[in-house]
Amino acid sequence: MPQLRLDTPVQFLKGIGEKRADALARLGIHSVHDLLHHLPHRYIDASTVTPLAKARVGDDVACIGTVMSKGVLPTRKGLRVFHAVLRDESGLLECAWPGQAFLDRTFAVGQLVLVAGPIRFYHGRQMAPREYVILGDADDPASAGRVLPVYPATEGLSHKQIRVLIDSHLDALIPLVPDVLDPALRERFALPSLAEALRAVHRPSSVAAAEAGRRRLAIDELLDLQLMLARARHVARHGQRGTRFTVHKTHTTALREALPWPLTNDQKKAIREIFDDMTKAERMHRLVMGDVGTGKTVVALFAMLLALENDCQAALMAPTELLAEQHHRTLTTLLEPLGLVPELLLGRLSAAEKKAAQARLRSGETTLVVGTHALVQDAVAFKRLGLVVIDEQHRFGVEQRAALMGKGEAPDVLLLTATPIPRSLALTRYGDLDASLLRERPPGRGSIRTAVRTPSQRRRVFEFLRQTALEGGQVYIVLPVIEESEKADLRAAQTMAKTLEAKWPDVSVGLVHGKLKTPVRDQVMRDFRDGKIGVLVATTVIEVGIDVANATVMVIEHPERFGLAQLHQLRGRVGRGSKESHCIILTTGEDVPDRLRAFAATDDGFKIAELDLEERRQGDLLGARQSGGVDFKVARFPDDTDLLTEARALARTLLEADPTLDQKAHRSLRDRVVTRYPKGEVLFRVG
């Protein structure tokens, strides 16, 4: 056998043949390192086991007890069954292992054993253990606290086999693990060594010890990412200098004086932060986060005007034509007193119109342009693009964003998003990205009242909708599906639209959903915007829709089918005018779930983002882990948010001392980061 190293393939380990190696590969385990980092997903110990007397028929439980008696009994069919009766403080439980008479030689009376499996009824309660562990002598105090790790398993390789495998090699493998953090740093951040942490997760003395080990591993996982993000940001900012804008107070001051309303404090602060960035030589890369209606557009406009008063052009890109049109209209109105006319560039323009618009951009005649991804087409060139604004930036691919930025020489970048994200996700997704938050809503706008209504109140709700429409108001009804189906007993958009059209001849009903072709869908949305439609029945395609101030009611059917963040986005479609708006949540059953009560009780997007994350974490661990855009194996959110802060501090400390992690003490860390994130190769190479 070759000398054992962390990158040695697992086949070289004793007890791993070709078949097992295949099974391990399915779990993503190829090397010795992978095996060591295959972590238990739970632990069984005295605090998680069921007292013997409490194990009920039909349950699947883990129990610990002392063997009182044992023996092999033949069944009538001749099968030999090993029996053992266990006892703990609560009582007795019989366990039976059919066909495993040999266990008679394994077990001894007086031993403390852990068993796990289903409880069935067979002349009384009886467990058919799927697995067992002999913990030791009942009177040996050392065995009392034994904690049993349970590993993710796969077909052909049970978690018990994995446990035995890891346990049998642990002592030989742990010494191979170097620590990527030097002892002084570990001490400063009160972290155990990597070797200690790995030993603790695989062979814990207590569940608390296992958790302490897991936290070190989670910090390392987060540290690698934070190092990448910090490094990427550093390179982006220093690699290419941006334009150093000067506040000439021409356009910007003119706009401030011409605005029909005062800016909110949050808007003022955001504009100040943006101007600070833009007047520096480093490139701006800032995110403006704020719920719908908090007034991000005008904030972006100030940034664009600062570019303009420095003889640069500015471009605003939106994900849909409707949104682009809306921005264009808003900007046109706001800029009118300044004598500035923004350009609009959309895919649906005629070839001649596009050509003319492109010519104006190239010559510099157009200083401010709003558009869709039509802006990133090859034919589009700018004379001097100084600022790029991207609305709902998460709806664009990295390439599209990069393509727009590539149309200028290191233009400043401002990103807008109406999807507030929890701090933990912001940190993992964007690292140190600068963010300006708009939490305050402009005054003078109608509030949104959220009500939860049950099926028995449906008639009254629909009567209210009809009245609203008849009085010239507009409403949205959102449903989770387009068509009815046998599989799911859900109300569908198509059916709803048909029913309402038949029932309410005096109201104009529109329908939009994702199966309509974009031009058709856009036309319906335009008709709604122009007030030609009173009731718009829709699926979530209107999630990032248009700003219709006259629409004051949002009804959401089957709200349990939507995430809280999604419900919040939908709610934000109303409350855009001065009238009071309503968001009505129509439950499927008479019981109102707590989550919907919580939703109705707050309209703080950041709070809802936290609730949403928590909900997704509980519903689907992996989903929540991945929702940061990064797949974490060890770290869990939001639980590990504190670790994230710690990892970030650690990354800063490391990079301050050694920006490219080039010192000898940091090389193994750099190697690990680059192995995990191949992109890092470039980032850590440049000085």
Which residues contact ligand ADP (rule: CB under 6 A)? 261, 263-264, 267, 290, 292-298, 330, 418, 442, 547
- Look up tokens 């009903």; give the residue: 509
Q: How far is the CB of 336 from ligand ADP (least distance, A)?
A: 13
Nearer to ligand ADP, 279 or 330 (CB): 330
**Rounded distance between C-alpha atoms, residue 271 and residue 282, angstroms:** 17
- Tokens representing residue 310 in the block: 């420095």
Q: How far is the CB of 344 from ligand ADP (least distance, A)?
A: 16
Nearer to ligand ADP, 267 or 424 (CB): 267
Q: How far is the CB of 405 from ligand ADP (least distance, A)?
A: 21
633 conformational bin, left if phi > 0, alpha if psi -120 to 50, beta if neither: alpha
Nearer to ligand ADP, 48 or 330 (CB): 330
3-class secondary-structure state, position 252 = helix
Q: How far is the CB of 303 from ligand ADP (least distance, A)?
A: 13
Q: How far is the CB of 489 from ligand ADP (least distance, A)?
A: 35
**Rounded distance between C-alpha atoms, residue 674 and residue 639, angstroms:** 27
Nearer to ligand ADP, 182 or 336 (CB): 336
- Tokens representing residue 559 in the block: 């709200």
Question: Residue 70 — φ and ψ, nearest 5°?
Answer: -160, 165
By CB neighbour count within 10 A (0-12 exposed, 13-18 middle, 19+ buried), where does 423 fall?
Answer: middle
By CB neighbour count within 10 A (0-12 exposed, 13-18 middle, 19+ buried), where does 676 fall?
Answer: middle
3-class secondary-structure state, position 493 = helix
Nearer to ligand ADP, 217 or 389 (CB): 389
Q: How far is the CB of 391 from ligand ADP (least distance, A)?
A: 7
Give the chain's length.
687
Nearer to ligand ADP, 297 or 366 (CB): 297
Nearer to ligand ADP, 214 or 296 (CB): 296
**Rounded distance between C-alpha atoms, residue 82 and residue 69, angstroms:** 11
Number of C-beta neighbours around residue 184 at 10 A: 9
Nearer to ligand ADP, 371 or 480 (CB): 371
Q: Classify each residue of 139-161 as buried b or exposed e, where b means 16 or more C-beta atoms within 10 Å of its C-beta.
A: eeeebeebbbbbbebbeebebbb
Nearer to ligand ADP, 264 or 428 (CB): 264
Q: Are 480 and 557 in contact (CB under 8 A)?
A: yes
- Tokens representing residue 592 in the block: 């109102």
Q: How far is the CB of 41 from ligand ADP (least distance, A)?
A: 41
Q: Classify each residue of 340-363 as buried b or exposed e, where b means 16 or more C-beta atoms within 10 Å of its C-beta.
A: bebbbbbeebeeeebeebbebbee
User: Which of 499, 482, 500, 491 has the alpha carbon at shortest distance from 558?
Assistant: 491
Q: How far is the CB of 535 from ligand ADP (least distance, A)?
A: 23
Q: How far is the CB of 414 from ligand ADP (least distance, A)?
A: 13
